[in-house]
Amino acid sequence: MTPQRIEVNDPALAPVPPAARTLASWNEARAIIEQRSVDLVVAVQEVARAEGSARRALAQALPNLDASGELSRLLAPGGADAPTRAGASITLRQPILAPRAWYGIGTADLAVEVAKLSLEDRRRFTLVAVADAVVSIVTTERLSEVNRVGLRSALELLELTRRRERLGTGTKLDVVRAEQDVALARATLVSGDESLRRAREALGAALGLKGEVGVPQEFSLNGIAAELGSQCTQTRTDQRADVRAARAELELAERGLTDAKLAFAPYAEVSSTLGTETYFGGTTSGVGGVGGGVGDAGGAARPGWSWSIRAVLTVPIWDGGARYGDLRINRAAVEQQRARLGAAERSAELESTQAVRSVEVAEQARAVAEQSRDLARETARLTQVAYEAGTVTSFDLVESGRRQRQAEIDLAVREFEVVKAKISALLASASCK
């Protein structure tokens, strides 16, 4: 026969209000990440900046075409008889010996690749952060439910203890102990509800949204792992985006050193200018361009034109030692990046190893927590029977109830830690594009 349940009412038993916005699925979260995540937006713009720099580097080796116009009048000496000059020219310049500019094109292209790898790694980090936030919300919501069940049990025990006191089978000490248990359960509930609200706010921040963002009760955590498995490709740790980016940055630093050495190389440029000029007004006799005079004393104007070709060779000789300083700077940068690459490789290997191991550890911890929960339930049941028989005190009853609630909380946490560990292991050596 099932014992009659004691009815209790308390405002704290009401669930936490839902968040203003709720994610329907992981695909919706992924779409919001691509549009609103601050880290991804910054990384995408870094790629755009690198592509702009690459285009600018290419321009250093391409022809340069400029046009100019001029209008001038001589004020003194000459006075009113001084002519007015109008001229126009167009100049084409083309580097014919520019080893530094040519080499810079490849360096800029490599910088674009580094930016894209950084974007890929930032996407992986963002997915990990959002997945952890979702799991944290589901975990804290489950804990919130467990805490309310615990508070209800504590309130029921308090009501039962008060009835026993009124009937003369209980003592005031039993009531005080039950009230202490209710206060403890209430404090745990308040703390758990705040953790839930903070978890929702953390998810909103990770998605680039304001306020709280929640997930529905039917949200599938296993579905997150399945979606990530289809969206991300498993690779070796040395092929992870951050390791490849560090390797490319080392190559970039080495190219920077070569670029500093190319500053000692000569530079040659050929240019051609086509120009025309016209004098009018005043006395223009004797003023002329190629092909004869441009006017006479009557003020008539006749245009003159010119076409020139010029080649310039520049050989750097001495600049005060700036180029030698650049060499030292870039050599140091190469050694720094080589050290960073080694650290990135070790960190990726360690992270992957620990992530794989954490799945096994989390599953073992969950099994232990489940066993502890079952034992705590049985202990609480036997203690209730013994208390009704008068063989144990209210202290034993309250303590067994507290341990059961704690065991329920521990099991809920361990169950979600298994899911979180699987997601972390999946993304520890993944490439997410």
Q: What span, in angstroms and rounded, lies between the C-alpha atoms of 414 and 370?
A: 9
- With 90 as the cut, is the pLDDT of residue 229 above it? no
Asked, for residue 77, whether it belongs to a domain, the answer is no
Asked, for residue 215, whether it belongs to a domain, the answer is yes
Asked, for residue 289, whether it belongs to a domain, the answer is no
The answer to whether the beta carbons of residues 401 and 181 sit under 8 Å apart is: yes
Asked, for residue 11, whether it belongs to a domain, the answer is no
Asked, for residue 80, whether it belongs to a domain, the answer is no
Parallel, antiparallel or unpaired: strands 213-214 and 21-22: parallel
pLDDT, tens only, 167-194? 877 788 888 988 898 999 999 999 999 9
**CATH label of the domain that carries residue 56:** 1.20.1600.10
End-to-end CA distance of the chain: 60
Asked, for residue 204, whether it belongs to a domain, the answer is yes
Q: Model confidence at 218, in pLDDT bands (50, 70, 90)?
A: confident
Whole-prediction pTM: 0.78
Domain that holds residue 24: 18-69+85-279+304-432
Asked, for residue 145, whether it belongs to a domain, the answer is yes
Q: What span, in angstroms and rounded, lies between the C-alpha atoms of 136 and 133?
A: 5
What percent helix, strand, coil does the chain show, rounded to 5? 65, 15, 20
* Overall domain count for the chain: 1
- With 60 as the cut, is the pLDDT of residue 301 above it? no
- With 60 as the cut, is the pLDDT of residue 277 above it? yes
Give 426 or 379, the one with higher predicted confidence.
Answer: 379
The answer to whether the beta carbons of residues 110 and 248 sit under 8 Å apart is: yes
Who's near 55: CB < 8 A, 6+ residues apart? Answer: none
